[in-house]
Amino acid sequence: MKKTYSVFETELRVRPDDIDMNQHVHNSRYFDYVLAARFDQMERFYKVSMEDFTREGYGWVIDTAHIEFKRPLRLGEYFLVRTWMEEIETRGVRVGFEIVKKENGKQSCAGTFHYTMISLETGRAAVIPVWMIERYSI
């Protein structure tokens, strides 16, 4: 039976410097929003901040990103970034996400990021330790 994982949510707001020549959020900034939400959620929900990771000698690198853009966010908009584990593998995780407009709950974009865990010492992929799998299995 496949394990399902919790969905976590972070509220953010579009900054003026996120807006591009088309008057809506620049495509690459959605990436940054998901990253900001992951940092926030790792600390608040998984109780293992990026600093903890580094201290333990581990790091995450993104190896694949997939995004479907639906509705652009606009200047000053509030939005919710939801992320969840889709798969915990031996040396990596696949994280799903969606960004929805706070005003009406409509989806702005959605996708998945695949991260590999690396040892900061060797720079190579490392087996995710049991304690970390447990923290993520919520």
Contacts of 127 (CB under 8 A, 6+ apart): 90, 91, 117
Please tell me what DSSP assigns to residue 45: T
- 43 or 87: CB nearest a second copy: 43
Please tell me whether residue 95 adopts helix, strand or coil conformation.
Answer: strand
3-state DSSP assignment of residue 86: strand
Q: Exposed (0-12), middle (13-18) or buried (19+): which is 83, by Cβ within 10 Å? A: buried
Tokens of residue 116, six digits: 């590999």
Q: Which is nearer to a second copy, 50 or 88 (CB)?
A: 50
Nearer to a second copy, 17 or 134 (CB): 17
Work out whether 96 is an interface residue with a second copy (CB under 8 A): no
Check the CA dihedral 102-103-104-106 and report its sign: negative
Q: Interface with a second copy by CB under 8 A: which range of 70-78, 83-91, 93-101, 129-137?
A: 70-78
> At closest approach, how far in Å is the CB of 122 from a second copy?
16
19: which DSSP letter?
Answer: B
* Lookup: tokens for 61: 């690198």
**Residue numbers 10-69 binding a second copy by CB under 8 A:** 15-17, 19-23, 26-29, 31-32, 35-36, 39-40, 43, 50, 59, 61-69
Give the total of residues touching a second copy (CB under 8 A): 33
As a whole number of Å, the CA-based R_g of the chain is 16
Q: Identify which of residues 23 and 122 has a Cβ nearer to a second copy in the complex.
A: 23
Q: Between residues 5 and 31, which has the closer beta carbon with respect to a second copy?
A: 31
Binding site for a second copy (CB under 8 A): 15-17, 19-23, 26-29, 31-32, 35-36, 39-40, 43, 50, 59, 61-70, 75-76
